[in-house]
Amino acid sequence: MMQKFQRFGAAMFVPVLLFSFAGIVVALGSLFNNPTLFGSLANPGTPWYGVWDTISSGGWTVFNQVCILFAVGLPLGLANKARGRAAMESVITYLTFNYFVDAMLRNWGSAFGLPNYNKIQIVANSTNHGLTEIAGIKTLNTSMIGAIIVALIVVWLHNKYFDKKLPDWLGTFQGSVYVYVLGFFAMIPLALLTCWGWPKVQDGITSMQSFIVSSGWIGIWVYNFLNRILIPTGLHHLVYIPFQLGPAVVEGGLQPYWLKHLPEYAASAKPLSQIASFNGFQLYGNEKVFLVPFICLAFYATAKKSKKTQTSALMVPAALTSVFAGITEPIDFTYLFAAPVLWVVYSVMSATMNTVMWILGLRGIFSDGAIGMASMNWLPLWANHWQTYVMQFVVGIIFGILTFFIFRFMILKFNYITPGREADDEDVKLISKKEYKAKKAAQEAGVDANDPYIARATAYLELLGGAQNITELSSCATRLRVSVADPDKVAPDSQFKANKAVNVVHHGKALQVIVGLDVPQVLDKMTQLMKKSGEANAKVTEQQDNPYIERATGYVDLLGGEENIESVISCATRVRAHVVDLSKVASDDEFKKYDAKEIERKDQDKEVDIVVGLDADQIVDNMKDLL
């Protein structure tokens, strides 16, 4: 169940990635068209105003189409195969759902409590009696919740029926058409239930909003604590997205609401806590700017003298990335596994700091790093609200200093093995050896020996058992994804960390080396070194994810490992394996965790058929590579 929630949380993040840039664009448009700052230049009708109004309008695209983005984004993250087709199926089914709602309310509005439905005109910045317009369709405003429900239904239908073989005379209805047909009929009862029940849900959301607002600092603290403590599980997306983009506090989400009202906030001298009382939940970026740098400083202060330079080289870029870009993963995973108690302390300090800032009047969108904070808060609002932001910096620095001393005390008291505190002999020996090999390998590969990525690329190649031990190599946003022929040849995790890896995640022959935001450069140097060595047989890809390698690795393990597998072939939608000992094959439920649809066993032939769908060929290719 946890894996399913993690996967759902990650899928929710697919469309959310677009909101940071869009928010900055809208905020800049509001900033440069602020008459308080730019005078008559920013008056409507001037060329200056027209340019920035045009740019701002483009930025609003993401916020105005948030429902469609979730209808597209969830299938891209959750579909087991043909994800592009799943996204198409989801969008058309979602639009069908809204057309059904529109038609039911046009014909039977009185029965659902909306007798004047046909007379209601949709206007901007209005509740519109709970209605909205999506892709030109007047419908009930189910916000992102309706899009998520429809998308999840389509994903389930897609994963279950996309590969369904129909009779030849119905062949044109297979695949996406079949999924849409099923979705079409599923939307009729869903639309009916929505017309009947959603107005009641809207009343409930309004009541919940009142409760959250009245809960004061307690609600703020719990919200911010959950946003930090749940990061390792990936479930924090489920906490903040309904607030940031959904109807949990205000209709349409806090971020669009703030951006729409930014000009009036900038023009008002009243405290933000009065004119923007709702916008107190998006403060969780403050820890990225104020706490993380002091945590990095604590790691440097507690590092061994012989490792100060190496520790600072690791901490400085991580701290800057956190402060300016709001990306904390490189530092989060540096100590999350080595000292999880420190993660709890960090979460408590974050929640308490943000709550104090809220009590003292801070409101706004502070979910990103300093660049996002400046564009959406400090720059447009500084003239009338600078006292609030001075307070923000004072409180942030105080909590940063407190966090530094708490971390420093606990690291020394309990001897946590944080960066710079690893074993002396292993680290010093490893680094000196790697530096020498890095220069030699760089010279042989014809690359700059002073290149900062060569040393790490050389080290990771050797620690992975050499180029000849690597069968698959690719990367995602911050990680190297690797499959190896012999896991026993892979060095201990501590040796990867000694070469600036944040952590290593293992799963049989597949592992992930968490490198950081410069993983593309490290991958590129590894590829160069592997080609030059002439020993590499690995498949190297620039794609961020190989959707088949994890399943292939899982199936090999569940079949009893490579020594228990005599042969493996693809057969239409099946992976067919002959094994030595059937008793070593895992249960059907274990296979289904890796998206297997059905398992068939033939005792006489010692044969196992794993029904996987149209991806069978790709999965078998990856399994053969592993074998």
Query: What band does 215 get if pLDDT is binned at 50, 70 and 90?
Result: confident
Residue 509's closest CA among 626, 383, 426?
626
Using a 10 angstrom Cβ sphere, with 0-12 exposed, 13-18 middle and 19 or more buried, the burial of residue 368 is buried
Residue 493's closest CA among 481, 485, 484, 502?
502
Q: How many Cβ atoms from other residues are within 10 Å of residue 126's Cβ?
A: 12
The answer on pLDDT for 282 being more than 80 is yes
Residue 418's pLDDT is: 82
The answer on pLDDT for 182 being more than 90 is yes
Count Cα atoms within 13 angstroms, Cβ side, for 599: 21
Query: What band does 427 get if pLDDT is binned at 50, 70 and 90?
Result: very low
Cα–Cα distance for residue pair 451/543, rounded to 1 Å: 24
Which residues belong to the active site?
Answer: 476, 571
Query: What band does 42 get if pLDDT is binned at 50, 70 and 90?
Result: confident
Query: What band does 436 get if pLDDT is binned at 50, 70 and 90?
Result: very low
Task: With beta carbons less than 8 A apart as the criterion, state whether 621 and 595 touch.
Answer: no
Residue 444's pLDDT is: 52
The answer on pLDDT for 61 being more than 60 is yes
Query: What band does 433 get if pLDDT is binned at 50, 70 and 90?
Result: very low
Task: With beta carbons less than 8 A apart as the criterion, state whether 410 and 342 touch.
Answer: yes
Instruction: Please tell me which residue, 476 or 120, carries the higher pLDDT value.
Output: 120
**148: its two tokens:** 């998520």
> Which long-range CB contacts under 8 A does 492-497 form with residues at least 24 apart?
494/422, 494/423, 494/426, 495/426, 495/430, 495/463, 496/460, 496/463, 497/419, 497/422
Task: With beta carbons less than 8 A apart as the criterion, state whether 227 and 240 touch.
Answer: yes
Cα–Cα distance for residue pair 260/427, rounded to 1 Å: 53
- DSSP tag of 117: G
Mean pLDDT of 158-182: 84
Cα–Cα distance for residue pair 320/324, rounded to 1 Å: 6
Residues 6+ apart with CB under 8 A from 163: 81, 573, 613, 614
Least confident of 6-15, 60-69, 138-147, 392-401: 6-15
Tokens 């996002």 -> residue: 372
CATH superfamily of 547-625: Glucose permease domain IIB (3.30.1360.60)
**611: its two tokens:** 């029904």
Cα–Cα distance for residue pair 82/68, rounded to 1 Å: 19
Q: Would you tell me the crossing angle of helices 176-214 and 83-108 to the nearest 10 degrees?
A: 70
Residue 161's pLDDT is: 87
Query: What band does 424 get if pLDDT is binned at 50, 70 and 90?
Result: low
Q: Which SS3 state, helix, strand or coil, does residue 362 take? A: coil
Tokens 């698959």 -> residue: 472
How much is the pTM? 0.49
Instruction: Please tell me which residue, 488 or 230, carries the higher pLDDT value.
Output: 488
The answer on pLDDT for 105 being more than 80 is yes
Residues 6+ apart with CB under 8 A from 480: 460, 473, 474, 512, 513, 515, 519, 522, 523, 526
Residue % of the chain over a pLDDT of 90? 19
Query: What band does 395 get if pLDDT is binned at 50, 70 and 90?
Result: very high
Note the helical H segments in 360-487. Answer: 370-373, 379-414, 424-445, 454-463
Least confident of 262-271, 272-281, 499-508: 499-508
Residue 437's pLDDT is: 47
The answer on pLDDT for 584 being more than 50 is yes
Instruction: Please tell me which residue, 239 or 177, carries the higher pLDDT value.
Output: 177
Q: Which SS3 state, helix, strand or coil, does residue 46 take? A: coil
Residue 350's pLDDT is: 94
The answer on pLDDT for 43 being more than 90 is no
Cα–Cα distance for residue pair 301/420, rounded to 1 Å: 9
Q: What is the pLDDT of residues 522-554, one digit of tens each?
A: 888 888 888 776 655 666 654 444 556 667 767
Q: What average pLDDT does the structure give for the chain?
A: 79
Residue 15's closest CA among 62, 64, 55, 57?
62
The whole-angstrom distance between residue 123's C-alpha and the CA centroid of its chain comes to: 34
Residue 19's closest CA among 10, 27, 9, 8?
27
The answer on pLDDT for 591 being more than 80 is yes
Residue 431's pLDDT is: 30
Tokens 């000694």 -> residue: 498
Alpha carbon separation from 135 to 59, 91, 98 (Å, rounded): 17, 11, 9
Least confident of 161-170, 186-195, 603-612: 161-170
Task: With beta carbons less than 8 A apart as the criterion, state whether 484 and 471 touch.
Answer: yes
Q: What share of the chain is helix, strand, coil (3-state, %, to 5)?
A: 65, 10, 25
Radius of gyration of the chain (CA): 28
Least confident of 121-125, 197-201, 587-591: 121-125
The answer on pLDDT for 564 being more than 80 is yes
SS (H, E, C) 501-565: CCEEEEECCEEEEECCCCHHHHHHHHHHHHHHHCCCCCEECCCCCCCCHHHHHHHHHHCCCHHHE
**72: its two tokens:** 């597209």
Query: What band does 189 get if pLDDT is binned at 50, 70 and 90?
Result: very high
Instruction: Annotate 210-245 with b (16+ C-beta within 10 A) or e (fewer).
Output: eebeeeeeebbbebbbbbbbbbeebbbbebbbbbbb
The answer on pLDDT for 434 being more than 60 is no
Residue 146's pLDDT is: 87
Domain boundaries, the chain: 249-429, 433-540, 547-625
Cα–Cα distance for residue pair 167/172, rounded to 1 Å: 10
* 611 backbone dihedrals φ, ψ, rounded to 5°: -80, 110
Rounded to 5 degrees, what angle do the CA atoms 392, 336, 494 make?
135
Alpha carbon separation from 396 to 360, 403, 600 (Å, rounded): 12, 10, 60
Cα–Cα distance for residue pair 550/386, rounded to 1 Å: 51
Instruction: Please tell me which residue, 417 or 292, carries the higher pLDDT value.
Output: 292
Least confident of 181-185, 299-303, 505-509, 603-607: 505-509
Residue 394's pLDDT is: 96
Q: Which SS3 state, helix, strand or coil, does residue 483 take? A: strand
Residue 335's pLDDT is: 73
196's enclosing H/E stretch is helix 176-214
Query: What band does 415 get if pLDDT is binned at 50, 70 and 90?
Result: confident
Residues 6+ apart with CB under 8 A from 623: 552, 555, 556, 568, 575
The answer on pLDDT for 276 being more than 70 is yes
For the domain with range 433-540, which CATH number is right: 3.30.1490.390, 3.20.20.70, 3.30.1360.60, 3.40.50.1000?
Answer: 3.30.1360.60
Cα–Cα distance for residue pair 401/465, rounded to 1 Å: 43
Mean pLDDT of 83-100: 92
The answer on pLDDT for 396 being more than 90 is yes
Cα–Cα distance for residue pair 100/459, rounded to 1 Å: 59
Alpha carbon separation from 384 to 19, 49, 370, 391, 396 (Å, rounded): 26, 22, 20, 14, 21
Q: What is the pLDDT of residues 303-342, one digit of tens each?
A: 888 888 878 887 888 788 778 767 676 577 667 666 789 9
The answer on pLDDT for 93 being more than 60 is yes
Residue 35's pLDDT is: 65
Residue 621's pLDDT is: 80
